[in-house]
């Protein structure tokens, strides 16, 4: 049992970055879906909560206590947000379930205040993810299975639609892209204009496709350790089947080739057969493990908790 009364739960602040980074760097009980260098910006942008020990007394309160565990959001487009990171110090690692239990309610309250009504978690391996079962015990349930695809060459089966213009993203595109997004994705996967501007900062390749009627698609990527990550592609439904996706894929493959990637990887939902057809046509093959997404409906602060343990 954990002595909860000796712990203080509070939202993470900038001054907590060093301690949170230390957990990421030194503990094996960590899950994070962001580059560690991004942590400071994430803490500034999105809710995150920490469990601090030794925060009693004037000095403890001033120093903020010693961070034992934290949970941080890395994507937030109301009404949805995603757990981007969770970590427990090495010495507290056996109690990670207790810390999940402690951190989730204050995080949920902070998210509710930002108009979030559902919280999501995605893991890379359904069979062996160490957080899946404890999160399910706290009320999360399976929303979607994910597929992973790889491609190991730069061949393209078609150049795609040549009548459209593909150009770099500009900040003024953010609002029209958010409109397109509503037509293309369920709300948990959706970006709003702010998220698109953030994506432009994070992803070095971000292009927009235009036809005579305006924006008809977009696509963004990153290369890390010589692996090309095809992060996102979408085409306006008015142009589905007209080769816009193929054109965006062709441009992406060329980008990865220029950057010297040795393979290209992507994830998509198990049920997104339209996207599967495009990827498989472009020479992507299915790989293991199978990723997944869990979701939790949030309740108003003070209302009876929907979490299984609450
Ligand atoms: C998936 C998506 C990007 C495809 O875009 P698109 O512009 O319709 O794609 P294209 O027209 O260039 O090509 C797709 C077509 O290639 C076709 N294709 C596959 N193999 C082919 C072949 N051997 N020869 C010719 N065409 C082939 C596919 O059949 C598909 O057409 P269909 O679905 O009408 O059968 C689009 O449907 C979309 O934006 N969906 C919503 C967002 C999304 O799911 N994004 C991906 C997940 S991140």
Are residues 84 and 171 located together in one domain of the fold? Answer: no
64 pLDDT tier (thresholds 50, 70, 90): low
20 alpha carbon to ligand 1 midpoint, in Å?
41
- What is residue 80's three-state secondary structure? strand
Does residue 307 belong to any structural domain of this protein?
no
In a shared domain, residues 18 and 90: yes
Taking the centre of ligand 1 as the mean of its atom positions, its distance from the CA of residue 17, in whole angstroms, is 42
Shared domain for 89 and 204, answered yes or no, is no
Give the pair of three-digit tokens for residue 252: 């992406």
* Same-domain pairing of 137 and 45: yes
Residue 236: inside a domain: yes
Pairing of strands 285-287, 292-297: unpaired
CA distance 184 to 176: 13
Q: How confident is the model at residue 302 (pLDDT cuts 50, 70, 90)?
A: confident
Q: For residue 224, is it within any domain? A: yes
CA pair distance 225, 257, nearest whole angstrom: 14
* Residue whose structure tokens are 């900040």: 171
Q: What is the pLDDT of residue 309?
A: 47
Question: Do 126 and 169 fall within a single domain?
Answer: no
pLDDT at 303 over 90: no
Average confidence (pLDDT) over 31-59: 89
My answer on whether 180 and 72 are in the same domain is no
Same domain, 135 and 173: no
231-253 pLDDT tens trace: 999 999 999 999 999 999 999 99
Considering the domain architecture, whether residues 68 and 134 belong to the same structural domain is answered as yes
Cα-based angle 137, 140, 141 (whole degrees, multiple of 5) = 105
**How many domains, the chain?**
2
State the closest ligand 1 atom to the C-alpha of 272, by its place in the atom list counted from 1: 44
> Mean per-residue pLDDT for 250-264?
98
Residue 308 placed within a domain: no
Residues 135 and 159 in one domain: no
The reply to whether 304 falls in a domain is no
34 CA to middle of ligand 1, Å? Answer: 29
- Residue-wise pLDDT for 84-142, tens only, equals 999 999 999 999 999 999 999 999 999 999 999 999 999 999 999 999 999 999 999 99
83 neighbors 71 (Cβ within 8 angstroms): yes
For residue 233, the model assigns a pLDDT of: 98
Q: Which atom of ligand 1 is nearest to the CA of 160?
A: 12
Q: What is the CATH number of the domain that holds 179?
A: 3.40.630.30
Residue 241 Cα to ligand 1 middle (Å): 6
Do 197 and 222 belong together in one domain? Answer: yes
Per-residue pLDDT tens digits for 199-232: 999 999 999 999 999 999 999 999 999 999 999 9
Whether residue 58 lies inside any domain: the answer is: yes
The pocket around ligand 1, CB under 6 angstroms, is made up of: 160, 184-185, 232-235, 239-246, 268, 272, 274-275, 277-278, 281
Q: Whose CA is nearest to atom 40 of ligand 1?
A: 234
138 and 194, same domain (yes or no) = no
Q: What is the pTM of this model?
A: 0.92
Residue 186 belongs to what domain range? 154-282
Q: Which atom of ligand 1 is nearest to the CA of 234?
A: 39
Is 303 inside a domain boundary? no
Please indicate, yes or no, whether residues 90 and 191 belong to a single structural domain of this protein: no
For the chain, what is the largest distance between any 2 Cα atoms, rounded to a whole number of angstroms? 68
Contact at 8 Å (CB) between 106 and 9? yes
State the distance from the centre of ligand 1 to the C-alpha of 184, rounded, in angstroms: 13
Residue whose CA lies nearest to ligand 1 atom number 8: 240
Q: What is the pLDDT of residue 65?
A: 86
Residues 6+ apart with CB under 8 A from 304: 310
**Share of residues in the chain with pLDDT > 70 (%):** 93
Region at 27 (left for phi over 0; alpha for psi -120 to 50; beta for the rest): beta
Each residue of 139-197: pLDDT tens digit? Answer: 999 999 999 999 999 999 999 999 999 999 999 999 999 999 999 999 999 999 999 99
Tokens of 277: 């057809």
Handedness of CA 92, 93, 97, 100 (dihedral sign): positive
48 located within any domain: yes
């Amino acid at each position: 049992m954990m002595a909860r009364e000796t712990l203080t739960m509070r939202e993470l602040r900038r001054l907590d970055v060093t301690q949170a980074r230390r957990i990421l760097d030194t503990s094996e009980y960590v899950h994070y879906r962001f580059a560690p260098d991004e942590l400071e910006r994430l803490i500034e942008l999105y809710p995150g909560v920490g469990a601090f020990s030794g925060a009693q007394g004037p000095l403890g309160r001033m120093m903020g206590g010693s961070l034992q565990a934290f949970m941080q959001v890395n994507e937030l487009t109301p009404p949805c947000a995603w757990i981007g990171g969770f970590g427990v110090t090495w010495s507290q690692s056996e109690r990670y379930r207790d810390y999940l239990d402690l951190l989730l309610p204050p995080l949920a309250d902070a998210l509710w205040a930002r108009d979030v009504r559902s919280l999501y978690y995605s893991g890379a391996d359904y069979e062996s993810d160490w957080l899946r079962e404890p999160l399910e015990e706290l009320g999360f349930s399976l929303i979607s299975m994910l597929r992973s695809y790889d491609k190991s060459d730069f061949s393209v089966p078609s150049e795609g639609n040549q009548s459209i213009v593909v150009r770099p993203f500009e900040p003024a595109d953010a609002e029209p892209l958010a409109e397109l997004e509503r037509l293309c994705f369920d709300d948990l996967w959706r970006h709003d204009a702010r998220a698109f501007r953030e994506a432009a900062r994070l992803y070095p390749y971000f292009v927009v496709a235009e036809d005579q009627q305006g924006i008809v698609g977009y696509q963004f990527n990153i290369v890390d350790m010589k692996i090309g990550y095809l992060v996102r592609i979408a085409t306006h439904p008015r142009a589905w089947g007209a080769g816009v996706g193929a054109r965006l894929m062709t441009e992406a493959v060329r980008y990865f080739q220029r950057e010297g990637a040795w393979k290209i990887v992507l994830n998509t939902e198990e049920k997104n057969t339209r996207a599967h057809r495009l990827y498989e046509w472009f020479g992507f093959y299915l790989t293991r493990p199978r990723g997944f997404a869990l979701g939790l409906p949030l309740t108003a602060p003070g209302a009876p908790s929907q979490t299984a343990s609450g």
